[in-house]
Homo-oligomer: A and B are copies of this chain.
Amino acid sequence: MDIAEFVKLSLGRWRSQRSAHHLAFGHFEQVTSIIDIVPLDKDDLEVIKLCKSHEIDPQTVNHPFRMSWEGESDWDEEESFKGTTILVPIPDLDNSQTGRLLRDQGYAETIPSIGNYHITEDGTFVLLTQYERATAEEKIWFVNPNFRLRVSMIKTSEGTGVVTASFSSEIRSLSNNSEN
């Protein structure tokens, strides 16, 4: 599994159930959402702009994509949330299993981020992102082409304490495909 294959498997519409464990107080949060992942062109203006903001050569981009989500949390039942972000993989030149991932808006903070990814021998995508006041670690793997799992952790910036651990199970929405 390399980043190109991983992105291709991720494309489409996903129905997501997410549980967040807020560890200090043993709180549970339940989130349901629809996630859309669509491919972008390498010469998409927003992709090029994001590369330039990190002083990275746009020629090194591999399979950029846009992820959008819309859903509801049981912590705020009156409001639905939605968002969108551009993700741009920059594989390392000397290793097909590792690289960097740019995004124009992070999970933990609403600022651009750059993370380091690697893909393990059993096909798990692992992303580590350092923010100013937190570290995020995410693992994503496919149980089958239509079902994927994500485990995320937010740690304090020193990387010692885990603040939140969350789990998403994502089922491909086949009804979306049949509309095509």
Residues of A within 8 A of B (CB): 15, 17, 19, 21, 23, 26, 28, 30, 32, 120-122, 143-144, 147, 149, 151, 153, 160, 162, 165, 167, 169, 171
* Measured CA separation A114–B153 after assembly (Å): 32
A153 touching B162 by the CB < 8 A rule? no
Least Cβ–Cβ distance between A21 and chain B, in angstroms: 5
A21 touching B17 by the CB < 8 A rule? yes
Least Cβ–Cβ distance between A143 and chain B, in angstroms: 6
Partner of A28, one of B19, B21, B23, B149: B19
- 21 interchain pairs, CB-CB under 8 A: A17-B21, A17-B23, A19-B19, A19-B167, A21-B167, A23-B169, A26-B32, A28-B30, A120-B120, A120-B121, A120-B122, A121-B121, A143-B153, A143-B162, A144-B160, A147-B162, A149-B165, A151-B167, A162-B169, A165-B167, A165-B169
Q: A26-B32, A120-B122, A151-B151 are in contact. Are A21 and B165 (CB under 8 A)?
A: no
Least Cβ–Cβ distance between A23 and chain B, in angstroms: 6
Extra contacts, 15 of them, besides A19-B28, A165-B169 (Cβ < 8 A), are A15-B26, A17-B21, A17-B28, A19-B21, A19-B167, A21-B167, A26-B32, A28-B30, A120-B121, A143-B162, A144-B160, A149-B151, A151-B167, A162-B169, A165-B167
